[in-house]
Amino acid sequence: MKPPKTESGTVLKVKTSDSDVGKFPIVCIGASAGGLDAFEQFLGNVPENSGMAYIIIQHLDPTQQGMLPELLQRICRMQVSQVKDRMTVKPNKVYVIPPNKSMSILKGVLYLFDPIETRGLRLPIDFFLNSLADDQKEYGVGVILSGMGSDGSTGVRGLKHKNGIVLIQEPSDAKYDSMPRNAMDSTLADIVAPANELPVKLFEYLKHTHVVALDTDIEIKDQSALDKIIIILRAQTGNDFSLYKKNTIYRRIERRMDVHKIEKIATYVGFLQENPKEVDILFRELLIGVTNFFRDPAVWEMLEEMVLPDMIKNQPEGTILRAWVAGCSTGEEAYSLAIIFKEVLERNNPHGDISIQIFATDLDNDAIETARKGLFSDKISTEVSAKRLARFFYATEDGYRINNEIREMVVFAKHNIILHPPFTKLDILTCRNLLIYMDAELQKKLLGLFYYSINPEGYMVLGSAETLGNQSHFFDSLDNKLKIYKRNITNQTPELFDFPSSFSRTKPTNVEPLIPVKATSSIQTLADQLLLQHFSPPGVLVTDKVILFTSVAVPGNIWNLR
Is the pLDDT confidence value at 515 over 50?
A: no
Q: Is residue 321 part of a domain?
A: yes
Nearest to 165 by CA among 124, 123, 209, 128: 209
In 350-434, alpha helices (H): 365-373, 386-392, 404-407
Structural contact between residues 6 and 12, judged by C-beta atoms closer than 8 angstroms: yes
Same domain, 237 and 180: no
Q: Is residue 373 part of a domain?
A: yes
Q: Is residue 1 part of a domain?
A: no
Q: Which residue, 286, 315, 344, sits at the end of a domain?
A: 286
Is the pLDDT confidence value at 323 over 60?
A: yes
Same domain, 235 and 306: no
Calpha distance 289→423 (Å, rounded): 22
Higher pLDDT: 155 or 17? It is 155
Please report the pLDDT score of residue 66 as a whole number: 67
**Mean pLDDT across the stretch 543-558?**
44
DSSP string, 485-519: EEEPP-S------S--TT-------PPPPPPPPPP
Higher pLDDT: 390 or 116? It is 390
- CATH number, domain at 335? 3.40.50.150
Is the pLDDT confidence value at 20 over 80?
A: no
Is the pLDDT confidence value at 338 over 70?
A: yes
Please report the pLDDT score of residue 143 as a whole number: 96
Same domain, 201 and 227: no
Please report the pLDDT score of residue 344 as a whole number: 93
Is the pLDDT confidence value at 169 over 90?
A: yes
- CATH number, domain at 272? 1.10.155
**Mean pLDDT across the stretch 333-360?**
90
Is the pLDDT confidence value at 346 over 60?
A: yes
* Cα-Cα-Cα-Cα dihedral sign, residues 326, 329, 330, 336: negative
Higher pLDDT: 48 or 1? It is 48
Same domain, 163 and 302: no
Nearest to 159 by CA among 182, 186, 185, 179: 186
Calpha distance 333→295 (Å, rounded): 8
**Mean pLDDT across the stretch 83-107?**
92
Element (H, E) at 396: strand 393-396
Please report the pLDDT score of residue 511 as a whole number: 36
361 strand-pairing partners: 326, 413
Q: Is residue 236 part of a domain?
A: yes
Higher pLDDT: 421 or 208? It is 421
Same domain, 85 and 66: yes
**Mean pLDDT across the stretch 293-300?**
91
**Mean pLDDT across the stretch 549-556?**
41
**Mean pLDDT across the stretch 468-489?**
86
Same domain, 249 and 329: no
The total number of structural domains in the chain stands at 4
Q: Is residue 47 part of a domain?
A: yes
User: What's the chain's average pLDDT?
Assistant: 80
Is the pLDDT confidence value at 505 over 50?
A: no
* Cα-Cα-Cα-Cα dihedral sign, residues 56, 61, 66, 69: negative
Amino acid at 292: N
- CATH number, domain at 183? 3.40.50.180
Q: Is residue 518 part of a domain?
A: no
Q: Which residue, 286, 311, 327, sits at the end of a domain?
A: 286
273: Cα separation from own chain's centroid: 27
Higher pLDDT: 377 or 177? It is 177
**Mean pLDDT across the stretch 434-447?**
85
* b/e code 130-145 from CB counts within 10 Å (16+ = b): bbbbebbebbbbbbbb
Higher pLDDT: 213 or 454? It is 454
Higher pLDDT: 502 or 94? It is 94
Please report the pLDDT score of residue 3 as a whole number: 42
Please report the pLDDT score of residue 550 as a whole number: 45
Whole-Å CA distances, 45 to 95, 160, 200, 355: 17, 24, 8, 59
Q: Work out the pLDDT band at 539, boundaries 50, 70, 90.
A: low
Domain extent at residue 552: 523-561
Q: Is residue 11 part of a domain?
A: no
Same domain, 156 and 254: no
Same domain, 282 and 301: no
Same domain, 531 and 407: no
Please report the pLDDT score of residue 462 as a whole number: 92
52-81 per-position pLDDT tens digit: 999 999 876 655 556 889 999 999 999 999
DSSP-assigned letter for residue 366 = H
Same domain, 341 and 470: yes
Please report the pLDDT score of residue 13 as a whole number: 45
Same domain, 198 and 332: no
Q: Work out the pLDDT band at 238, boundaries 50, 70, 90.
A: confident
Higher pLDDT: 219 or 484? It is 484
Q: Which residue, 151, 179, 207, sits at the end of a domain?
A: 207
With 0-12 / 13-18 / 19 or more C-beta atoms within 10 angstroms meaning exposed / middle / buried, residue 287 is buried
176-223 per-position pLDDT tens digit: 999 999 898 888 888 999 999 999 999 988 876 644 443 344 555 577
Higher pLDDT: 139 or 500? It is 139
253-296 per-position pLDDT tens digit: 888 888 888 888 889 999 999 999 999 889 888 876 778 899 88
Please report the pLDDT score of residue 507 as a whole number: 39
Q: Is residue 414 part of a domain?
A: yes
Same domain, 312 and 266: no
